[in-house]
Every structure is written in C-alpha cells, then in structure tokens.
Amino acid sequence: MKALVTGSNGLLGKDLVVELKKRGWDVTAVDIQELDITDPVAVASIAGGVYGKEGWLFNCAAYTNVDGAETDVDRATLLNSIAPGYLAQACAMVGKRMIQVSTDFVFDGQTSTPYAEDAPTHPLGVYGRTKLEGEEAVFSHQPSAIVIRTAWLYGPLGKCFPKTIVKAWESGKDLKVVDDQQGSPTYTADLVRVMVDLAEKNVDGGIYHTTGPSVCTWHDLAERTIRTWTGKEVRIPAIKTEEWPTPVRRPVFSVLSFDKCRALGIQTMRPLDEALSEFCERLRRAPELFR
Ligand SMILES: NC(=O)c1ccc[n+]([C@@H]2O[C@H](COP(=O)([O-])OP(=O)(O)OC[C@H]3O[C@@H](n4cnc5c(N)ncnc54)[C@H](OP(=O)(O)O)[C@@H]3O)[C@@H](O)[C@H]2O)c1
C-alpha cells in the first residue's frame, strides 16, 4: 500500500515512517522542505497525482507549540485549521484517504470519565481551537477521512516531556512537576501501530480516540520515567498547576476512551512502564537523540 507522510521529521512522523516501512508499505516521507502544507500550490501537486493516485495520506505536520499558539495565532490557524483542509481537498480529488492527527486539547478536561469520540468539545486555548477547526476542515472536504485524537505523546525521535525530564535529571537540575493534571501518556511507536492498523482495516471515516492505556499525572510520569531510566526509586517534588503558570490552561482530566477502537479489534497499547522501558532503551542505544 502507498503512504504519503507529511510532517515526517517530527516526533510522530519519524516513528510512523519506521512502522510503515516495517510493514512493507511504499512510503513517501515529506516535511516542510519538500511539501509545505500551508502552500496551496505545493499541496495541489497531490491532487495532480505527483504522489500517486491511491493509498493514504498521514498528516503529522502541525503547529504544536501549545503556549506559543496564544500569540502566534495566524501561524497556528494556517497550519492547524486551514492547511489540513487543503490536504483533504487534494486527497479527495485524487482518490487518497487522509488520516489527520488531532488532540485531547479539543476538550476542557472538566470531567472524571474518559471522553468518547462524540463528547462535546470545548477547547481552552488557540492550539485546541485550531486543531478542532482542522478536524472540521478535513471532514468538509473528505467525509471518509480519519481523525485520530491522541494525547501526551512521547518517543525518542523528537521533543517530549519524558526526554526533557531525563535530560534535566542527568544534568542534576532541581525538578518539580505538577501532580494535579491527569492524562494518558502515549508512546509514539505504539500509536503508529494503531494508526496503521486503522488504515489497513480500512475503517469507516470518522473520529477515533487512541492513547496509551495508563492514566497518570505529569508528576507520576516523571517519577516513572526516572525510575525506568536509573533502575532506582526516586522522589521528585510535586507542585500544583498554579505554581507552574503557563499562558494557556491545560485540561485537568485529559483521558480519551479507547472503546471505539477496541470494538473494531484494535489491540490496546502497551502499559506505561513497558513502553517507557523501550523508550529508555532506544535513548540509551542512541545518545545523540538527546541533542
Ligand atoms: N506532541 C504531543 O504531545 C501531541 C499530543 C496530541 C496530539 N498531537 C498531534 O500529533 C501530531 C504530531 O505531533 P508531533 O508532536 O509529532 O509534532 P512535531 O514534532 O512538532 O512535528 C511536526 C512536524 O511538522 C513539520 N512542519 C511544520 N510546519 C510545516 C509545514 N508548513 N509543512 C509541512 N511540515 C511542517 C515540523 O517541522 P519543524 O520542526 O521544522 O517545524 C515537524 O517536523 C500533530 O498533529 C499534533 O497536533 C501531538
């Protein structure tokens, strides 16, 4: 099967390309240098058949700086709200199906039960709002597209919270981490397996929630990461959100239900500690990834 991956140099895009190639897909991987998704002329090349006339487009490109989006509204809107629509339109014209990656930030976190795909959305900031608009733009051009909402991504091939924590620990920095926001850490190598499973099963168009199976706080994630990294019990001071102010509020309870995927026979991801072990092992094998 053919895949075009946009944003292929990012945290998720890199692991997605690895997974697709492992499964024998014919992959074209492009990032902003080869295909700027905000450039309608460049995107029209997809409709022109430059990347083949069938298969799937996986869009991993996005404006992902959650706090930066509050002041860089135009860029976030272009990348997250408008460009996914260009891609979906081009896909629809050439007979490709699109998979758009979205986020738990479309919700406000004011709940105590996992969000189903049809739960009412209410983004708290520009990033969440623009990602939600991107979902709508994609479906308006291609109702058979797939939108995958995920959360708390980590992996060795890009910037992420567990890598920042390991780096800080190794450099002897004083750490303190918030313990009043809950979510589901999602290992990129496991998420890409689910993404490709959904494509290979050729599931119906719509929204699919898919995250790791464990629910924890950032503080818990930090301690578990360092425990996995060092093999020792560690204690990191916990703080409250108000002691770590950020330009945009985060959802307090950001857990997505996996039920829809499970009902389709998609296997749940590995438990957090198992996935963290592999993450740490990959970092140990390639210390240059810390740069
Ligand atoms: N990270 C998370 O915790 C998280 C959680 C939930 C959902 N998501 C979603 O998951 C997806 C992947 O996120 P990620 O963490 O892998 O992001 P990432 O590491 O920031 O990767 C995004 C990639 O897109 C590229 N890009 C930026 N502007 C572009 C353009 N105009 N045209 C083409 N490519 C462009 C970036 O290049 P540069 O680096 O050069 O800008 C980067 O290589 C996004 O849709 C994000 O919203 C992420």
Percentage of the chain modeled with pLDDT above 90: 97
Ligand 1: distance of its center to the CA of 234 in Å?
A: 32
Report pLDDT for 194: 98
Q: Which atom of ligand 1 is nearest to the CA of 158?
A: 19
The answer to whether the beta carbons of residues 98 and 57 sit under 8 Å apart is yes
pLDDT grade for 27, boundaries at 50, 70 and 90: very high
Q: Which residue from 6, 11, 66, 82 has its CB within 8 A of the most atoms of ligand 1, so it is best to mutate? A: 11
The residue-averaged pLDDT of 36-57 equals 95
Catalytic positions, written as ranges: 127
Pick from 279, 259, 277: which is nearest to 268 by CA? 259
The binding-site residues of ligand 1, defined as CB within 6 angstroms of any ligand atom, are 6-7, 9-13, 31-32, 36-38, 60-62, 64, 79, 101, 103, 131, 150-153, 158
Kindly give the number of the ligand 1 atom that is closest to the alpha carbon of 159.
Answer: 19
Given a cut of 90, is residue 287 above it in pLDDT? no
Residue 131 to residues 72, 244, 245, Cα–Cα distance (Å): 14, 24, 23
Residue 245: pLDDT band with limits 50, 70, 90 = confident
| Prediction pTM value | 0.97
d(CA 135, CA 150): 13
Quote the ligand 1 centre to 237 CA distance (angstroms): 31
